[in-house]
Amino acid sequence: MLLAIPQVFTLEETTRIREALEQTEWEDGKATAGYQSARAKHNLQLPEDHPLTREIGEAIVHRLWQHPLFMSAALPNKIFPPLINCYTAGGAFDFHIDNAVRNVRNGVERVRTDLSTTVFLSDPDTYDGGELVIQDTFGTQRVKLAAGDAVIYPGTSLHKVEPVTRGARYAAFFWTQSLVREDSQRALLFEMDTAIQNLTRDVPDHPSLVQLTGAYHNLLRRWVDV
């Protein structure tokens, strides 16, 4: 399942974030890549312990943990602290699949990468290229969202970032370990939850709502992985 999450940040917030990012020091993005990914990765990245990385990352997690669409689709258990990258001057990241497990820096916690998320921080009109290309059972999708919007997709997906030939593409990215490991099961639960919410809004007294809600939670109980 691939899903856009609108307005994690407002336009004004992304403007302030970019202004801060434009004035800071960056490192080679290969620093956090595995052996195979490092061969395909050509971008810049803020150090994981940089104050801006922590500040922006904490804001993202706080916003998404309260975002009904993200919570319904991702069913998050753990979230890897978000990282910040920049693609410019031809920077790109060729096709790859993310590592299955990520170790949290300076800690003992591990996060299984069930879902990948990119939060776009640059206005798409300010740079050329930089599309996130994702291949999975839903086909091939080319994603280039408005500043402040996010996209979530299965961590098992083959994906790449096209070369940025003009301007700079700033983004945050992270991984989520879901309560439900399998994407197909998460997708079914998301569809059920969406239908229940629509029925609750349109026909709140319908007797089938109790049965549908019960079926949702019984499936979640069967599939949850904690």
Q: Return d(Cα 16, Cα 134) in angstroms, integer.
A: 29
Cut 0.75: pTM above it: yes
pLDDT of residue 28: 87
Asked if pLDDT for residue 35 goes beyond 60, the answer is: no
CA dihedral angle for residue 117, residue 38, residue 111, residue 174, rounded to 10 degrees: -20
96 is in an annotated binding site: yes
Instruction: Dump pLDDT digits (tens) for 75-131.
Output: 999 999 999 999 999 999 999 999 999 999 887 899 999 999 999 999 999 999 999
Strand 83-88 versus strand 168-178 pairing type: antiparallel
Any idea what the Cα angle at residue 150 is, between residues 165 and 170, rounded to 5°? 35
159 is in an annotated binding site: yes
42 is in an annotated binding site: no
Domains recognised in the chain with CATH numbers: 3-178 (2.60.120.620), 183-223 (4.10.860)
- 46 CB-contact burial (10 Å; exposed 0-12 / middle 13-18 / buried 19+): buried
Q: Return d(Cα 109, Cα 136) in angstroms, integer.
A: 28
Instruction: Dump pLDDT digits (tens) for 151-209.
Output: 999 999 999 999 999 999 999 999 999 999 999 999 999 999 999 999 999 999 999 99
